[in-house]
Amino acid sequence: MTLAATIKGVYAITPDCVDSADLLHRARMALAGGVKILQYRNKSANREQRVEQAHALRMLTREFGALFIVNDDARLAAHVDADGVHVGATDDSVEVARTLLGMQKIIGVSCYNHLTLAHDAVNAGADYVAFGAFFPSAVKPGAAVATVGLLQQARRELNIPLVAIGGITLHNAGMLLHAGASALAMISALFQTEDITDAVKKMSSLFELYPQNGIS
Catalytic residues: 41, 110, 140
Could you write out the three-class secondary structure of the chain?
A: CCCHHHCCEEEEECCCCCCHHHHHHHHHHHHHCCCCEEEECCCCCCHHHHHHHHHHHHHHHHHHCCEEEEECCHHHHHHCCCCEEEECCCCCCHHHHHHHHCCCCEEEEECCCCHHHHHHHHHHCCCEEEECCCCCCCCCCCCCCCCHHHHHHHHHHCCCCEEEECCCCCCCHHHHHHHCCCEEEECHHHHCCCCHHHHHHHHHHHHHHCHHHCCC
